[in-house]
Amino acid sequence: MQTARGARGQAQAQGLVQPDFEAKIRDPRSLGWVASLARPLVFTNGVFDLLHRGHVTYLARARALGASLLVALNGDASARRLGKGADRPLNSLADRAAVVAALGMVSAVTWFDEDTPEALIAACRPDVLAKGGDWPVERIAGAPGVLARGGRVISIPFEHERSTTALVQRIRGSIAPS
């Protein structure tokens, strides 16, 4: 994942410090940092391209299931393979990670480039695996491994009918406001 090193260097030269949330963005290639997260650990994943009320409500509900929340973002190529549109994600992985990391309920943010986060879930060994209500438990990647270790897998019902795809269509004027 690329960071804005040039902008960061300029900010430091002006006496500005790196925002605290940047430390929540963690590299998935070495997972030693996972041990520092409080247990029970909740794991969730998604694209989180344009955050909306549905996303933040879902993340707050997921965080309430444990002592810490780890959010794994689809890498840009992984997100494109989901079929949400040729121009998605709209925001780069680095930008999406920064925005999600800035949320108070999020303990750490990482990413995966595969089609599913199944290997990352197995490596992180969460106590709780959470996904949105559009995912039945039996279809959630990584669920069998979490359940086999005595963990829980939760499909959190939607509370607000929001969709990034619908939001993008509305911005582009292709659907009427709801």
In one-letter notation, the amino acid at residue 91 is N
Would residue 176 count as lying in a domain? Answer: no
| 175 vs 29: which has the higher pLDDT | 29
pLDDT band at 174 (very low <50, low <70, confident <90, very high): low
Give the pLDDT confidence score for residue 109 in this predicted structure.
98
Structure tokens, 147: 């359940």
One DSSP character per residue, 36-54 reads GS-SSEEEEEE---S--HH
Phi and psi at 45, nearest 5°, equal -150, 165
pLDDT band at 162 (very low <50, low <70, confident <90, very high): low
What mean pLDDT do residues 67-93 have? 90
Would residue 2 count as lying in a domain? Answer: no
What domain range includes position 151? 21-171
Would residue 164 count as lying in a domain? Answer: yes
Would residue 41 count as lying in a domain? Answer: yes
Would residue 29 count as lying in a domain? Answer: yes
pTM of the model: 0.84
* Average pLDDT taken over every residue of the chain: 89
Query: Is 156's pLDDT higher than 80?
Result: yes
Structure tokens, 43: 């794991």
Would residue 39 count as lying in a domain? Answer: yes
- Closest among 57, 51, 45, 48 to 124, alpha carbons compared: 45
Total of domains in the chain: 1
CATH code: domain of residue 118? 3.40.50.620
What mean pLDDT do residues 134-153 have? 96
What mean pLDDT do residues 138-165 have? 88
| 16 vs 106: which has the higher pLDDT | 106
* 16 C-beta neighbours (distance < 10 Å), count: 10
What mean pLDDT do residues 108-127 have? 98
Query: Is 4's pLDDT higher than 60?
Result: no
Would residue 143 count as lying in a domain? Answer: yes
What mean pLDDT do residues 62-85 have? 93
Would residue 10 count as lying in a domain? Answer: no
In angstroms, rounded to a whole number, what is the distance separating the alpha carbons of residues 138 and 37? 27
